[in-house]
Amino acid sequence: MTSTTAAPASTAAWPWPPLLRASIGWHVAAVAAGVLVPGAAPWAIGAIVLNHVLITAAGLTPRSSLLGANITRLPAASAARGEVAITIDDGPDPVVTPQVLELLDRLDVRATFFCIAEKVRDQPALALDIVARGHSIQNHTAHHRHDFSLRGARALAKEIQLAQDLIEQVTGQRPSCFRAPAGLRNPFLAPVLHRLQLSLVSWTRRGFDTREGDAATVAARLGRDLAAGDILLLHDGNAARTAAGQPVLLEVLPPLVARLRAAGLRPVTLPEALNPSDLPTVHEH
């Protein structure tokens, strides 16, 4: 059974992940031991530090579920339909994204764009073009701040809510999926996403195509163990350039899609894979 097919109701209590439940018990036990047992204080402090190291490590591991639900593959039903999701982050970019849209049309592929909402606000026609061509725009924060994972619950909520509002104002569609900048998180994020009815979506594999300009290397990373249910991560914003000066995803997509098709796989958008019964997306108030 998968719990990834629908956004959780915001009224339901947030299900505390086992790591955080255990952490609370661990703190209580460590403090009690430190206070009550002579000579135990240094050990108790060490135990608490160790616990924080573990939580921080979980937040720095984009595909981890230790801090809350995290979609790293499409649900079983979607995989059974032979679906994969191509996700494209950090746009819309006024130079790169139009080329990506032309290419995707030529390849007859629908993708999911995790957009930075201030760029959507600044490029409304481009964002509308993305949606008009059948792609999906989802929430990749309002500003893509690099210290996102160091912020508290209120700041995270403000940043994510603002992105929801900006994207909805421009496209008329409210995102149901969220991806953190660089996939980095902290324990405050999951309850915020739960309240905003957003599903955290990471990826199965990424090509590191903001740093790697060699298309063959990026394509090989994305295509390793290619299988139904894969969520693949590419970038139209901050895209590395090939030796010829091309944004690398433009050279990666044609061979990647050819491989998907040869393997009998079908690229779909995340809403199509996660909530097939909701399509076509109709916005309601």
Pick the closer one to Zn ion by CB: 93 or 251. 93
Alpha-helical (H) ranges within the chain are 18-36, 41-59, 76-80, 96-107, 117-122, 124-132, 153-171, 189-195, 215-223, 248-262, 270-274
209 binds Zn ion (CB under 5 A): no
Which of these segments, 2-10, 25-33, 85-93, 157-165, binds Zn ion (CB under 5 A)? Answer: 85-93
Which of these segments, 86-94, 101-109, 247-255, 267-275, binds Zn ion (CB under 5 A)? Answer: 86-94
**b vs e for 179-206, b when ≥16 Cβ sit within 10 Å of the residue's Cβ?**
bbbebbbbbbbbbbbbbbbbbbbbbbbb
Pick the closer one to Zn ion by CB: 181 or 191. 181
Q: What are phi and psi of 130, to 5 degrees?
A: -55, -50
- Min dist CB 107 to Zn ion, Å, is 23
Pick the closer one to Zn ion by CB: 73 or 206. 206
- Min dist CB 139 to Zn ion, Å, is 11
Residues 83, 89, 159, 272: which binds Zn ion (CB under 5 A)? 89
Which of these segments, 15-23, 74-82, 83-91, 151-159, binds Zn ion (CB under 5 A)? Answer: 83-91
Catalytic residue among 89, 90, 93, 209: 89
Q: What is the size of the binding site for Zn ion (CB under 5 A)?
A: 3
Is 235 one of the catalytic residues?
A: yes
Tell me which residues in 170-189 interact with Zn ion (CB under 5 A).
Answer: 181
DSSP state of 279: P
3-class SS of residue 71:
strand
Pick the closer one to Zn ion by CB: 31 or 60. 60
Pick the closer one to Zn ion by CB: 83 or 89. 89
Cis before residue 92, ω within 30 degrees of 0? Answer: yes
DSSP state of 63: T
159 binds Zn ion (CB under 5 A): no
Q: What angle do CA 268, 199, 265 make, to 5 degrees?
A: 20
Is 27 one of the catalytic residues?
A: no
90 binds Zn ion (CB under 5 A): yes
Q: What angle do CA 211, 216, 218 make, to 5 degrees?
A: 40
Interface ranges with Zn ion (CB under 5 A): 89-90, 181
